[in-house]
Chain A
Amino acid sequence: MANIISDETIEYVGILSKLELSGEQKEQAKKDMGLMLDYIDQLSELDTTGVEPMSHIFPIHNVFRQDTVTNGDDQENILRNAPEERDGSFIVPKTVD
C-alpha cells in the first residue's frame, strides 16, 4: 500500500463526516482509505496531455428553466420528511453557529 493514512487524517475526516469511530473502526478505515487512494493513483499513470478537464459526464450545456412559479404550497407533503415537526417547521436538535 503506497498511501499511508495518518491518525490525524482519519481523526479529521471523522470530524468532517460527523462520525464517531472506535479504535478498531479507525484502523480499518485507515486501511480502506489507503487502498482507495492507491486505486485512484492509477489514473495518474495515464498521459492526459491535451485533454480538457471534464465538468460533466454528458455532452450537454445550457439547460435552463423559465422564471415562472410552477410549485404551489406543498407544506404537508414536505413536512412528512421531517424527523419531527411543529407549527409548519422542521424540528432538529438545537444547533447554534
Chain B
Amino acid sequence: MSKQYETVIGLEVHVELATKTKIFCGCSTAFGGAPNTHTCPVCTGMPGSLPVLNKQVLEYVIAVGLATNCEISHYSKFDRKNYFYPDNPQNYQISQLYLPICHDGGVEIETEEGKKIVGIHEIHMEEDAGKLVHDDWEDCTMVDYNRSGVPLIEIVSEPDMRSAEEVIAYLEKLRLLIQYLGASDCKLQEGSMRADVNLSIREAGAEKMGTRTEMKNLNSFKAIARAIEGERERQIDLLEEGKEVIQETRRWDDNKEYSYAMRSKEDAQDYRYFPDPDLAPIIVSDELLREIKSKEPEFPTEKMIRYKEEYGIPDYDIEILTNTKHTADLFEETVALGADPKKVSNWLMGETMRLLKENAMEPEAICFSPENLAKLIQLVDSKAINSTVAKEVFQEMFHHDIDPEQYVEEKGLKTVNDQGALRKTIEEVMARNPKSVEDYHNGKTKAIGALVGQTMKAMQGKADPALINQILQELL
C-alpha cells in the first residue's frame, strides 16, 4: 500500500436504562417474561393510548449528561421518527431530534499518545423496539412487545476517534461512568449497551472527511475491534481500486469477519420527523439540576485519590479495584467490616480475577458477600486455616457464596494446632522416610521440604507449614 490512510470514527451508543418501568407506561422492564406479558395499549401502539414520561428516565439521562460534561437543555421535547417495521407497532419511534436533552459534552480517554477528549455531540432519550423471531418453517414472523418502550438513551459522539483502541477506551469510560451512576448495567453481550460504528477513511493529512458507513450488530469489544479493522480494510481496498465508498448501513458478521450492506435504495430512510403532540415539553429547572447533582456518586477518579490516602494500597491495586463499581463496592464494604485493605485487595485482584477469567464472567457477576470475604480473611489471620485451604474455601465461596466459617467447620478443614498430635505425625513421617532424614543430615537441607510435604499430606492439608517446619528442625 503506497498511501497512508487515517481512520475517522464516531459512535452512536445505545444504553438501556435501569428503570423498573418502561419510558411511557407502567409496564415492567423485567427481562425474560413470556412473550407479550409486559405490554399494554401504550407500548403496543393502540390508537387513543397516551404516553406519559417516566421521571426516572429524565433523571438518569441528566445524570449521564452531567457526568459526561454535557450542557443540559433547559427546554426539550420529543419527536416521532417514522418508519414501517413490525418491531414497532406505532409505525414511529418516539425519540428526540430537534431539542435533545443533553448536548456538547465530552469525556477524557487515555491513548498511547496521552490523554485525549472525545466530544459528545448529544444524548437523547428514546424507546426500544419489540423483538422479532423469524419462523422459517411457517414462513412468518413472531413478535414479542415486552421490550417495546423500554427506555434507551443514545449517546452520539463527535467523529473524534482514530483507532479501535480509542473506541474501546471511550466505550469503557462511558460504561464505567454509567455503571457508577447506577443508570444501567451496560452489558454488551446482553444488549443493555450497544454501539453503532460510523467509520470513514481519508488520506493522512487530508482535511475533508471521506464517505462514511455505519456498522450495526456489534455485541462485544472484540467484535467492535475486528469490525473496525475489517471495515477500514474494505474501504481502503475500494479507494485503491479507484472505486467509491457508498454511504450505507452495514451489518457486521463476526463469524465471517465481514460486513454486509443492510438496506437497498428501494426502502430509503426518510424518517419524516415531527414533534410528538402526545407528550408535553420538558423544562429542566435549576432546582432539578441541583437535586440530581447532589445525588451524584463518587466517581473512579475521586475514589482513586481517596483509596491512596485512606487505605494506602498500591496504585496498581487501586486501578483494578475501581475499574468496576461492583469491585470497588465489594472492596470498601469488606474493609468496613474490619479486614485489612491490602489483604482484601489481594483476594479481589488475585483469586477473584483468576476465577472470573477462568469462567468467562464479568465482575458484575461476582456473588460472594463482603461479610464472607471478611470472615475468610479472619480465618487465615487467626491461622485457623492455611493459605492452600483458604484458596479451596474461596473457590466454593466464589461459586456459591458459602459461609466460610461454617464450611470449614463442616468439612473439618481447620488447621490442627494441637502440637502433640502434629509432633506425633511428624515422627511417623520421619520413620517412614529415613532417606530424606539421612539426606538432611548429609547437608542436603532441601530434603526438609519433602518431609514437610509428606506431613501436610498425612494431615490432609490441615496444618500450618511454618509450624511443621519449626517442629521438624527441632526433631532433626
Q: Is A25 among interface residues, defined by CB-CB distance under 8 A? A: no
List B contacts of A75 (CB < 8 A).
Answer: 34-37, 39
Q: Is B304 among interface residues, defined by CB-CB distance under 8 A? A: no
Q: Are A69 and B267 in contact (CB under 8 A)?
A: no
List B contacts of A79 (CB < 8 A).
Answer: 36
Q: Bits for A55-85, please: 1 = Cβ < 8 Å to B, else 0.
A: 1111011111111111101110011010000
Q: Are B20 and A92 in contact (CB under 8 A)?
A: no
Q: Are A93 and B140 in contact (CB under 8 A)?
A: yes
Query: Which one of B159-167, B175-183, B279-287, B420-428 is at the interface?
Result: B279-287
In the assembled complex, the Cα of A6 lies from the Cα of B135 at a distance in Å of: 40
Take A93-B140, A95-B141 as given contacts and tell me if A78 and B21 are in contact as well, using a CB distance cutoff of 8 Å. no
Q: Among B19, B46, B139, B281, point to the contact of A94 (Cβ < 8 A).
A: B139
List A contacts of B239 (CB < 8 A).
Answer: none
Take A18-B84, A94-B139 as given contacts and tell me if A71 and B26 are in contact as well, using a CB distance cutoff of 8 Å. yes
Q: Is A91 among interface residues, defined by CB-CB distance under 8 A? A: yes
> How many residues on chain A are close to B (CB under 8 Å)?
38
Query: Which one of B53-61, B366-374, B451-459 is at the interface?
Result: B53-61
List A contacts of B139 (CB < 8 A).
Answer: 94
Closest B residue to A57 using CB positions: B277
List A contacts of B143 (CB < 8 A).
Answer: 89-92
The minimal Cβ–Cβ distance linking B376 to chain A, given in whole angstroms, is 38
Q: Bits for A28-70, please: 1 = Cβ < 8 Å to B, else 0.
A: 0000000000000000000000000001111011111111111
Q: Are A63 and B53 in contact (CB under 8 A)?
A: yes
Q: Are A63 and B140 in contact (CB under 8 A)?
A: no
Q: Give the size range of B's interface with the partner.
A: 35 or more
Q: Among B25, B58, B85, point to the contact of A64 (Cβ < 8 A).
A: B58
Closest B residue to A13 using CB positions: B270
Q: Are B142 and A86 in contact (CB under 8 A)?
A: yes
Q: Are A56 and B266 in contact (CB under 8 A)?
A: no
Q: Among A55, A74, A89, A95, point to the contact of B85 (Cβ < 8 A).
A: A95
Q: Are B28 and A62 in contact (CB under 8 A)?
A: no
Q: Among B37, B54, B267, point to the contact of A88 (Cβ < 8 A).
A: B37
Q: Is A8 among interface residues, defined by CB-CB distance under 8 A? A: no
The minimal Cβ–Cβ distance linking B59 to chain A, given in whole angstroms, is 9
Q: Are B283 and A69 in contact (CB under 8 A)?
A: no
In the assembled complex, the Cα of A69 lies from the Cα of B392 at a distance in Å of: 43
Closest B residue to A64 using CB positions: B55
Q: Are B54 and A64 in contact (CB under 8 A)?
A: yes
The minimal Cβ–Cβ distance linking A33 to chain B, given in whole angstroms, is 14
Q: Among B20, B52, B57, B283, point to the contact of A68 (Cβ < 8 A).
A: B20
In the assembled complex, the Cα of A79 lies from the Cα of B52 at a distance in Å of: 23
Q: Among A63, A78, A86, A96, point to the contact of B40 (Cβ < 8 A).
A: A78
Q: Is A87 among interface residues, defined by CB-CB distance under 8 A? A: yes
Q: Is A1 among interface residues, defined by CB-CB distance under 8 A? A: no
Q: Are A87 and B55 in contact (CB under 8 A)?
A: no
Q: Is A97 among interface residues, defined by CB-CB distance under 8 A? A: yes
Q: Bits for B260-293, please: 1 = Cβ < 8 Å to A, else 0.
A: 0011001110101001010111110000000000
Q: Bits for B52-73, please: 1 = Cβ < 8 Å to A, else 0.
A: 1111111000000000000000
Q: Bits for B237-278, please: 1 = Cβ < 8 Å to A, else 0.
A: 000000000000000000000000011001110101001010
Q: Is A16 among interface residues, defined by CB-CB distance under 8 A? A: yes
Q: Are A62 and B282 in contact (CB under 8 A)?
A: yes
Q: Among A60, A67, A70, A93, point to the contact of B56 (Cβ < 8 A).
A: A67
List, sorted by A's number, 22 A–B pairs whose CB atoms are closer than 8 Å.
A55-B275, A61-B280, A62-B280, A65-B52, A65-B53, A67-B57, A69-B21, A69-B26, A69-B27, A71-B25, A71-B27, A73-B33, A75-B35, A75-B39, A78-B40, A81-B46, A87-B142, A89-B35, A90-B143, A92-B86, A95-B141, A97-B263
